[in-house]
Amino acid sequence: MTVGIAYVDGSRFRRSLLAAADWVAAGRDELNRINVYPVPDGDTGTNLCLTLRAVAQALRDLGDAPLPRVIETMAQASVRGARGNSGMMLSHFLLGFRDGIGNRLRARASHLADGIRQGFDRLQAALDEPVEGTIVTVAREAADEAAAARDEHDIKVFMQRLVRRADAALQRTPELLAVLKAAGVVDAGAKGFVRFLDGVKRLIEEGHIAEGAVDRLAPNAAASTEVAAERDYQYCTEVLVRGDALPTAPEVRKALRGLGGSIVVLQTGDLLKAHVHTDTPEAVFQLGAHWGTVEYTKADDMRAQHAALQEKRAIGFVTDTACDLPDALVFEHGIGLVPTQLILEDKVYKDRLEMTAEEFFTRLRAGYDASTSQPAPQAFTEAFQDATRGADQVLAVILAKALSGTFANAEAAAQAFGGRVTVLNSRSASLGEGLLVLRGQELAARGWLVENIVRELHRVRDQSGAFFTVENFDRLVRSGRVGRGRAWLGTKLNLKPILALSAEGKIEPLDRVRGKPAARRRILELLDEALAGRPRELRLAVVHADIPGFAEQLRAELVARYGPRQCLVSPVTPVIAAHAGIGAWGVFYQVEDGTNR
């Protein structure tokens, strides 16, 4: 008998979780649109996304490791990153799964079945009031099918059976919850759980997450359906507490019952996280302070979220993946992201969606060659269509026209939208582009008109800039930006080029220094000169190609030195890393002093 995949080890399980996180992220908007239970606040997809992104980031930082370390990292990250009711429930499932797998270095179908069963048992036991027609129902059916399939010799067949059974249970959720049937939707949290399992299955079957990532919402599943919540609590509240003598989960649930509903409590080691829908979030935080040291609190106004969901935004934002904005900010602000294209060993990937920076760095270190290509106009057309469904007007902030044909394709696509889409040349890249998007978002939230935002972003853009350097000349030679002779000489002399973005958005050389310490000093000198007036309204950003420790140290120094209102750190996206190479880094500054409304 031919066996496909007989077991999962640390490497396989890690890649499966990364794929599952990406697949849930691809369906985020639909999950938000169909979110009507327990309250229609439109954030189930975002909460699941952010929970799994925290897991994915921890696993990328971990790298390849034995299965017990991968599973423990997953579990701990899910507790810290759990967001909302759905994220807390998924975290419980993952904690139980960890306990079921134990310290095995390889897990066969029977071991996975044990993990899934314990995952469901822990999830159900954690809920104060388990409700059928939710993730509870789907997880139970998945656990039952896993038990029935525990003797399968091929993990691929095991996962196919699991997803098929879970999806069938998902389709029955409207029959179990009247609120779902009235809205004509399945349960959003349950669908997110099925997407999580399906992401694992798709990786096994296809090797990567394929195109068509976002399922389209059925016509009868309209987001605007009015559904009354079972309890009209106002705030979705969370508190994360650390302590050596934490109360038990049942004790915490008992303490919270008098304050609200939809209670979920997570506890592992010296960490405790509680979620509750309540009208008195401060009372929840006070309880948390009695249990231990409060490390994190959140209180989202669900009524305001629901009201915002029912109305179109005045302005929606779109950018491309070269913006380097972290996923959490993209999700939080509802920014449309158009992927540029990465060509790796003759295979085309959608930047960030099908190839993350961490995965790309691994390929580069292994000697893979890479090139890039701009998004097609159709990619922008689809992004603008999505954005105009949720906003009256759209502002697209795009990679510098002088660097890529990406801007021209965005302009071409915008012409079909009758003036509803405005395209702005960032004259920048990476977080220089991303910071402009964040500034635009702020102004839109204040009620500014598109034309005034564009005028202000032009003003801010023209008094902002960036300085950066590369570790070696290999990628610049391959992309044709530096000749082989100059590269050879630069390598022999250990020269580091100091580069900047011109006012037109072109890359221009400023200086050459010998060695990394000198490059760091020179860039800080240039930054001091650029910020000599010590602006009061300043954003900074550090980007790097696989040198996170250096980037964090530099961020801390920049914060102490300039006191910016914001200082982001992000790895450069693969389409930029393909030209800059591993070890490249840069500092972007955005000066916002003065306004021109």
Query: Per-residue DSSP letters for 565-584?
Result: SEEEEEEPPHHHHHHH-TT-
* Mean pLDDT along residues 558-578: 90
Q: Can you give the pLDDT at residue 74? A: 93
Q: Can you give the pLDDT at residue 122? A: 92
Helix, strand, coil shares of the chain, percent, nearest 5, are 50, 20, 30
Tokens linked to 253: 């649930």
Claim to verify: residue 559 and residue 469 sit in the same structural domain: yes
pLDDT band per the 50, 70, 90 thresholds, residue 480: very low
Claim to verify: residue 278 and residue 369 sit in the same structural domain: no
Claim to verify: residue 369 and residue 497 sit in the same structural domain: no
Q: Interhelix angle for 135-148 vs 155-171, to 10°?
A: 150
Claim to verify: residue 73 and residue 200 sit in the same structural domain: yes
Q: Can you give the pLDDT at residue 524? A: 95
CA-based nearest residue to 287, from 244, 240, 233, 250: 240
C-alpha span between 389 and 589 (Å, rounded): 33
**Domains contained in the chain, number:** 4
Specify the range with the lowest mean pLDDT, choosing from 61-65, 124-128, 350-354. 350-354
Claim to verify: residue 481 and residue 491 sit in the same structural domain: yes
pLDDT band per the 50, 70, 90 thresholds, residue 306: low
Specify the range with the lowest mean pLDDT, choosing from 33-47, 139-153, 436-450, 569-583. 33-47
* Mean pLDDT along residues 155-173: 93
Phi, psi of 225 (to 5 degrees): -60, 130
* Mean pLDDT along residues 388-399: 92
Out of 274, 306, 338, pick the residue that ends a domain. Answer: 306
Claim to verify: residue 569 and residue 500 sit in the same structural domain: yes
pLDDT band per the 50, 70, 90 thresholds, residue 307: low
* Mean pLDDT along residues 163-179: 92
CATH at residue 530: 3.30.1180.10
Report H helices in 217-273. Answer: 249-257
Segment 209-236, tens digit of pLDDT = 443 333 322 323 333 333 333 456 778 8
Domain that holds residue 264: 235-306
Q: Can you give the pLDDT at residue 491? A: 47
Counting residues of the chain whose pLDDT is more than 70, the rounded percentage is: 88
> Has residue 343 been placed in a domain?
yes
DSSP string, 319-372: EEGGG---HHHHHHHT-EEEPPEEEETTEEEEBTTTB-HHHHHHHHHTT--EEE
Structure letter (DSSP) for residue 415? G
End-to-end Cα separation, the chain, in angstroms: 72
Claim to verify: residue 498 and residue 439 sit in the same structural domain: no
Segment 501-537, tens digit of pLDDT = 888 998 888 998 888 899 999 999 999 999 998 888 9
Claim to verify: residue 302 and residue 326 sit in the same structural domain: no
Claim to verify: residue 339 and residue 440 sit in the same structural domain: yes
Highest mean pLDDT among 120-124, 128-132, 302-306, 342-346: 120-124
**Distances from the Cα of 571 to the Cα of 279, 382, 513, angstroms:** 39, 27, 24
> Has residue 228 been placed in a domain?
no
C-alpha span between 349 and 574 (Å, rounded): 10
Claim to verify: residue 381 and residue 289 sit in the same structural domain: no
* Mean pLDDT along residues 289-315: 73
550 or 208: which carries more pLDDT confidence? 550
* Mean pLDDT along residues 126-130: 80
pLDDT higher than threshold 70 for residue 246: yes
Q: Interhelix angle for 188-206 vs 10-26, to 10°?
A: 130
pLDDT band per the 50, 70, 90 thresholds, residue 206: low
Out of 306, 327, 343, pick the residue that ends a domain. Answer: 306
Highest mean pLDDT among 36-40, 230-234, 361-365, 455-459: 455-459
pLDDT higher than threshold 70 for residue 484: no
Out of 434, 460, 486, pick the residue that ends a domain. Answer: 460
C-alpha span between 585 and 570 (Å, rounded): 10
Q: Interhelix angle for 406-414 vs 377-390, to 10°?
A: 50
Q: Can you give the pLDDT at residue 191? A: 93
CATH at residue 400: 3.40.50.10170
Tokens linked to 232: 């009209």
Q: Can you give the pLDDT at residue 39? A: 63
> Over the chain, what is the mean pLDDT?
84
C-alpha span between 262 and 229 (Å, rounded): 11
Report H helices in 513-547. Answer: 516-530
CATH at residue 36: 1.25.40.340
Specify the range with the lowest mean pLDDT, choosing from 20-29, 303-312, 399-408. 303-312
> Has residue 216 been placed in a domain?
no
Specify the range with the lowest mean pLDDT, choosing from 247-251, 419-423, 442-446, 586-590. 247-251
- 88 within 8 A of 192, measured Cβ to Cβ: no
275 or 156: which carries more pLDDT confidence? 156
> Has residue 137 been placed in a domain?
yes
Q: Can you give the pLDDT at residue 474? A: 59
> Has residue 164 been placed in a domain?
yes
Claim to verify: residue 470 and residue 455 sit in the same structural domain: no
> Has residue 220 been placed in a domain?
no
Tokens linked to 402: 């002088």
Claim to verify: residue 470 and residue 567 sit in the same structural domain: yes
pTM: 0.58
pLDDT band per the 50, 70, 90 thresholds, residue 68: very high
> Has residue 146 been placed in a domain?
yes
pLDDT higher than threshold 80 for residue 345: no
- 283 within 8 A of 256, measured Cβ to Cβ: no
* Mean pLDDT along residues 188-192: 91
CATH at residue 300: 3.30.70.2730
pLDDT higher than threshold 90 for residue 128: no
> Has residue 1 been placed in a domain?
no
**Distances from the Cα of 588 to the Cα of 265, 466, 519, 557, angstroms:** 41, 4, 15, 14
